[in-house]
Structure formats: C-alpha cells, structure tokens
Amino acid sequence: MGGILGCRPLAPDEDFTASGGDSLRAVELVNRLVARRHPVEGDGAERLRAALVTAVFDDASPGHLARVVAETDVPAA
C-alpha cells in the first residue's frame, strides 16, 4: 500500500484512507491485489474484486484486506 501512496509500507492496522488514499488509489490497490492473486481474469478474479471493493470501504487496513484475500476462494497464481 505504501507504494501506491508514495510512502513507507503501512502497518497491518494502519488505515489506507487516513494515510492519504483516495478513491482512485483504492481502485489501483484493488486491481493490483487482484492481479497479484489471480492474474487471469475470470469468476475468481471478479469475486475477489467485489470482496475487496466492499472491504476497502469497511476497513482499508492492510491486515483487513489480507484477511479478505485469504478468505476469498481464489486460487493463488
């Protein structure tokens, strides 16, 4: 997340939005996470994208987003 924000890596409980993240950066974050976890588009990538978009508005901390990725049924690349 720090790379997207142009700062150091965020702590697991640090908020993306409070650290300077906005909606455009949130889209970039979601797209990077989906591409890293599931580089080929398909149902799995769409499920992950939907879960992450919801999650980024609930709790945009790295720890929370990591749990969402882990709990979403998408095979690792």
**pLDDT > 80? residue 23:** yes
The percentage of residues in the chain with a pLDDT greater than 70, rounded to a whole number, is 92
Alpha carbon distance 75, 1 (integer Å): 22
Q: What is the pLDDT of residues 27-63, one digit of tens each?
A: 999 999 999 887 677 888 899 999 999 999 899 899 9
Mean pLDDT of 20-24: 93
**pLDDT > 80? residue 73:** no
**pLDDT > 80? residue 75:** no
Residue 6: how many CB atoms within 10 A of its CB? 8
Q: In terms of Cα–Cα distance, which of 23, 24, 40, 33 is closest to 1? A: 33
